[in-house]
Amino acid sequence: MRNAREFNFDGLVGPSHNYAGLSFGNVASFSNVRSASNPRQAALQGLAKMRDLAARGFAQGLLPPQARPNFRLLRRLGFSGTDADVLAQAYRESPVILACAYSASPMWTANAATVSPSADTRDGRVHFTAANLNNKLHRAEEHEQATRTLRALFANPDRFVVHDPLPSTPAFGDEGAANHTRFASAHGAAGVEFFVYGRVEFDPSAPAPTKYPARQTLEASQAVARLHGLDAARTVFASQNPDVIDQGVFHNDVIAVGNGNVLFYHEQAFANEAGTLEALRRALGVTGTDLRAVRVDTGVVPVADAVASYLFNSQLLSKPDGRMALVVPHECRETATVARYLEQLVASDGAIDELIEFDLRQSMRNGGGPACLRLRVVLTDEEAAAMHQGVLMTEDLYARLVPWVERHYRDRVEPKDLADPQLAIECAAALEDLERILGLPGLYDLA
């Protein structure tokens, strides 16, 4: 077993952060539609979280925002003329499409890709597959820049493989790491990769939600496992409970989170709870590791409270002492059932003995918490040295990014502002400056 660490790459919130309510099935996103956002505050809240976790000794990086508005999308859909003309026409004829082109959803980097560390893959390299996110128009374009960014950060072909996204068809709907978890005795040890899906394209009789869409298919999860060269004996596929998808659990990471040998989950998370746990125990047994399942009963925390607080959309992080910390948003403290449960959890002398709390109000209102904001990448020391260093969080980088945000970001964006050509100019200027700060010239194709 080689020495390895888990790096969390948080999405840096972009200057177009707005509340368009585009994500049907995401209760928080939909409930804040057309309210005013504060991009500056959102970005500073995210940076504060990254800085604090890095200061605590956790390996922390960032993924830069994507270019917005997406003029290529708008022009492909028939809007024409100068950039200002395109914005004005889109706002007049289809403000929803304009909002899609301005979406700040790439901040949810748990959806950027699925990642398999070198300890799990057949060729001994770290594998990435950018998610196609084909369930929503405002997200279906993200994979192009996500792939470009990952290939810029992880460019050494001896260490890393960044695959093309899966075909953008319903059969291969892929939402990335939001439906993927890895279990292992240590980050550098061979582990078990756990894929959770919401529907089966080629089996109409399989369980499926009826109110909200299931975004991840079994077929997509199986394809990613094949691309990454995973060992079938250490790969588990499980069906998400369709009833909780219909209650607003649009990704598995809204109802369960895992780390090390610990699965922290709600009793309604899976269609077959007993079968899922048995499959995980069997796969972990191949590695000589026992599963520690931390189950939250419905009678203690109802699904609605779990969704409202994003209890399970928390980061479960390994500490040097072998115990684990749970990174939660303020909303967990403000939801009575969840607050009571967490007090009991950390006092129980179990695997999770510390809560780390952050104010992520701006991102929470847009439909995601701490776990949505980060992509987990396990790297050996050699792999970490081979990646681009300019995105790793340090005090120096933080000190450069805070004034960058204050210089380029607005403190208020309303739906009508998306028609303002000046906002598009400001977004482009911010990213040109960011390329220089991160040492990534040419990261964006801003022509």
Token code pair at residue 151: 């290939």
Rounded distance, CA 220 to CA 174, Å?
6
Has 139 been labeled as part of a binding site?
yes
Q: How many angstroms separate the CA atoms of 435 and 447, rounded? A: 15
Give the C-alpha distances (Å, rounded to integers) separating 53 from 10, 60, 146, 325, 357. Answer: 11, 7, 24, 11, 11
119 marked ligand binding residue: no
> What are the residues whose beta carbons fall under 8 Å from the beta carbon of 144, sequence distance 6 or more?
none
Question: Alpha-carbon distance 29 to 11, whole Å?
Answer: 17
Q: Is position 407 annotated in a ligand binding site?
A: no
Residues 266, 372, 408, 427: which is the catalytic one? 372
Q: Is 202 annotated as a binding residue?
A: no
Measured distance CA(418)–CA(87) in Å, rounded: 8
Cβ partners under 8 Å of residue 97, min gap 6 = 74, 77, 90, 137
Token look-up 């960058």 returns 404
Q: Is 25 annotated as a binding residue?
A: yes
Is 303 marked within a binding site?
no
Q: Is 143 an active-site residue?
A: no
Catalytic residue among 141, 142, 175, 383: 175
Q: How far, in Å, CA of 374 to CA of 176, rounded?
A: 11
Answer for the pair 250, 212: CB distance below 8 angstroms, yes or no: yes
- The verdict on whether residue 26 carries a ligand-binding annotation is yes
SS3 217: strand
Catalytic status, residue 251: yes
28 belongs to an annotated ligand binding site:
yes
DSSP single-letter state for residue 389: G
Q: 251, 383, 408, 427: which one is catalytic?
A: 251
215 annotated as belonging to a binding site for a ligand? yes
Element (H, E) at 92: helix 83-93
**Residue 23 annotated as lining a ligand binding site:** yes
Q: Is 180 a catalytic residue?
A: no
What's the token pair of residue 1? 């077993």
Annotated binding site for substrate: 20-29, 111, 138-139, 215, 253, 366
Annotated binding site: 20-29, 111, 138-139, 215, 253, 366
Active site residue ranges: 175, 251, 372
